[in-house]
Amino acid sequence: MPDDARARELEALLLTALAAGPAHGYALMVALRRHDISVTRVDGGTLYRALRGLEDDGLIAGTWIEGPGRRRREYQLTRRGRRCLVDHPGRWRTLVADLSGVVAPAGVRPSWNPS
């Protein structure tokens, strides 16, 4: 699969994961890796590149949260991101539906520790 198509799929998956609630980068990676398909086997660089891209496009918004000894950036869907998720072209729908079942119950919640 071309890199570009993989990047688009990853962005769709991240939007889907964030539909369950705000989450930080590591929690998103854990959620993606629970579903073992090629597009979810990403390194940190690819993940944060996709998150920056979505943030620049106004689909998600990041907020810094001060934690013990370090700070953490938490992402959530913007109104535009929710609309984009709803309006996804048909080819995403099956993938998104599959992953909704995996990501949402996995509990990507705004907790400090992903659990």
Residue 115 binds other proteins (CB under 8 A): yes
Rounded CA gap, 59 and 92, in Å? 16
The residue from 6, 20, 21, 46 that contacts other proteins (CB under 8 A) is: 46
Could you give the 3-state DSSP secondary structure of residue 34? coil
Q: By the 8 A CB rule, do 75 and 17 touch?
A: no
Per CB under 8 A, the segment of 13-21, 49-57, 92-100, 102-110 that binds other proteins is 49-57
DSSP letter for 107, please: -
The phi and psi torsions of 109 (rounded to 5 degrees) equal: -110, 165
The residue from 15, 25, 99, 106 that contacts other proteins (CB under 8 A) is: 25
Q: Which residues bind to other proteins, rule: CB under 8 A?
A: 4, 8, 24-27, 29-30, 43-46, 48-49, 52-53, 56-58, 67-73, 84, 113-115
